[in-house]
A and B are shown apart, each in its own frame.
Chain A
Amino acid sequence: MKKFINDTVLVEEQMILGMVKAYPRHLKKLDCGNVVVRAEKKEGKVALISGGGSGHEPAHGGFVGTGMLDAAVAGPVFTSPTPDQIYEGIKAVATDAGVLMIVKNYTGDVMNFEMAAEMAEMEGITVKHVVTNDDVAVKDSLYTIGRRGVAGTVFVHKIAGAMAETGADLDKVQATAQKVIDNVRTMGAAIEPCTVPAAGKPGFTLSDDEMEIGIGIHGEPGTHREPVKKADEIVDMLLSQILEDIDYSGSEVAVMINGAGGTPLMELYIINNRVSDVLAEKGIRIHKTFVGEYMTSIEMQGFSISLLRLDDEMKQLLDAAADTPAWN
């Protein structure tokens, strides 16, 4: 394992410290742990808190700031933060308007955030939550814990964050977040794995000519493996699954081409070139496209495509000003 780190046990803390030092105008770190909050607490609005394992940078700390999150809690790499840490985050940003937790649908994340909410409620803080589950690669049935929350979660941060900034109440902010969840779908693929620093070796292996379709943001297996194809063919495969899942015809969408950490912009633009053409062919109008790294998987070579079906309200909130390290 070759990485620019000092000590595997210091990875998360030194990453957060470096991030806060880079953006002192936006962020500060709580003394109690790897919890990042807005440099200036915003009173009188619903506070948004998200988080999850580390290794997804700029998520989630990079989305803390005006118009998006109020706090982000970072667990160890690819591991949910613990309830006491999440609780500290909630306490630091809670206002009388309440707190909305944006949780990605993983067993651990959901349990830890739920335990934190139970702790906060005992202290008289009103906490509600939404669970994001945009990954169409996972079957959503009675027989699984449901789809995973992946890059589409960033749209939830943005749009619910903009709604909270207007001074809307907790129910309204929660409903807005849920509306985004209901309308966003994502699917990804990878050609090279990533290595969790503490594990020291890749979480999975792919042979030279192989790719994993439907991969999760922790390098979890997806739907299947097959030989690597041309970028356009991979895009077609992922897009067809997304487009089958909800009816995008005639609608206006926001597109996110998210890099998994080890895929250059050059390739992401090649991917977007095809995405854009296919959507045009299908008469799906693109309101805005985001190409870059929003929710990574350390150094994985991979990408995901997210499509958010917009209505006027979501469009307006997506376009509203935001000022955070990774979205402005």
Chain B
Amino acid sequence: MADSKKVLKIIQAISLKMEEQKDYLTELDQPIGDSDHGINLGRGFAAVNEKLSGLEGKDIGTILKTVGMTLVSTVGGASGPLYGSAFMKAGQAMAGKEDADITDFLTIIKTAIEAVELRGKAVVEEATMLDAMVPSYQAMEQAVKEGKAAEEVLNAGVKAAWSGAEHTKDLIATKGRASYVGERGLGHQDPGATSYSFMLEEISKVTG
């Protein structure tokens, strides 16, 4: 599915996407949070982007770990530790690997989900990024079981991620700053679930 060179391309594509969607993600954060999701991720992935040239020739584990550490030290807020821990843990799972197939990719996502659950003390249906992560993982796992090609697996994942993000509109947040607005958060799409969906979409585009 992807060698370490392609992983760098994916990270670069995600960085550009975060920059492109900075204002949109921040707008989503305004009614329910503190209007900084896009700003913070934009800052973090700009720092990631600068590190990419230094990561050429490194294994996938090192790349993901460096991305995670960079996010932890530049993003701040809640998304820094969450995305940071997700990438760092995924990096640990991929230590020394030069190539990742679709099964490795599922391992990466599963590890990332566990990291987010642990750091955020959250589960699905709390209107967080997990509401995009978990259903999309399940859809991809199912597609792999059905013997589908990597491209189709990812397509299924992206689709499920976006419908998961859409579903956060129907949920009352119980974690993060959005929990303070209670029912007033209904009808608003979670910025974290949205940024995750964008990321998965970029992965799908670059590998597809």
Contacts and interface: CB of A to CB of B under 8 A. Distances in A.
B66 to A, nearest CB: 14
Would you call the interface of chain B mostly helix, strand, loop, or mixed? helix
A75 to B, nearest CB: 5
A144 B34 contact: no
B142 interface: no
Contacts of A139: 182
15 contacts: A76-B36, A82-B75, A85-B73, A107-B177, A108-B77, A111-B78, A111-B82, A112-B76, A143-B179, A148-B180, A196-B36, A199-B26, A199-B39, A204-B30, A221-B31
Interface of A: 53, 75-85, 106-108, 111-112, 115, 138-139, 143-145, 148, 196, 198-199, 203-204, 216, 218-221
Interface string B118-131: 01100000000000
Given A199-B39, A204-B30, A218-B34, A82 B175 contact: no
Interface of B: 26, 30-36, 39-40, 43, 72-82, 119-120, 172, 174-177, 179-182, 184
A108 B179 contact: no
Most chain-B CB neighbours within 10 Å: which of A83, A139, A145, A148? A145
A237 to B, nearest CB: 18
A48 B35 CA distance: 30
Contacts of A77: 36
A53 B79 CA distance: 14
A78 B34 contact: yes
Contacts of A112: 76, 80-81
Given A111-B82, A145-B179, A199-B26, A204 B76 contact: no
B35 A108 contact: no
Tell me what chain A mostly uses at the interface: helix, strand, loop, or mixed.
loop
Contacts, number: 102
Contact of B76 (A108, A196, A216, A221): A108
Contacts of B43: 76
Nearest to B35: A203
Contacts of B174: 143-145
Contacts of B181: 220-221
Contacts of A148: 180
A84 B73 contact: yes
A80 B82 CA distance: 13
Which residue, of B33, B36, B43, has the highest number of chain A Cβ atoms within 10 A? B36
Given A144-B174, A199-B39, A204-B30, A81 B76 contact: yes
Contacts of B74: 82
Given A108-B77, A111-B81, A199-B35, A83 B72 contact: yes
A83 B128 CA distance: 22
B80 A108 contact: yes
Contacts of B31: 204, 221
Q: Which 10 residue pairs spanning A and B have beta carbons closest together?
A: A108-B78, A111-B81, A108-B77, A79-B76, A218-B34, A107-B78, A203-B35, A144-B179, A84-B73, A79-B77
A144 B180 contact: yes
Contacts of B35: 78, 196, 199, 203, 219
A186 B125 CA distance: 30
B133 to A, nearest CB: 17
B175 A216 contact: no
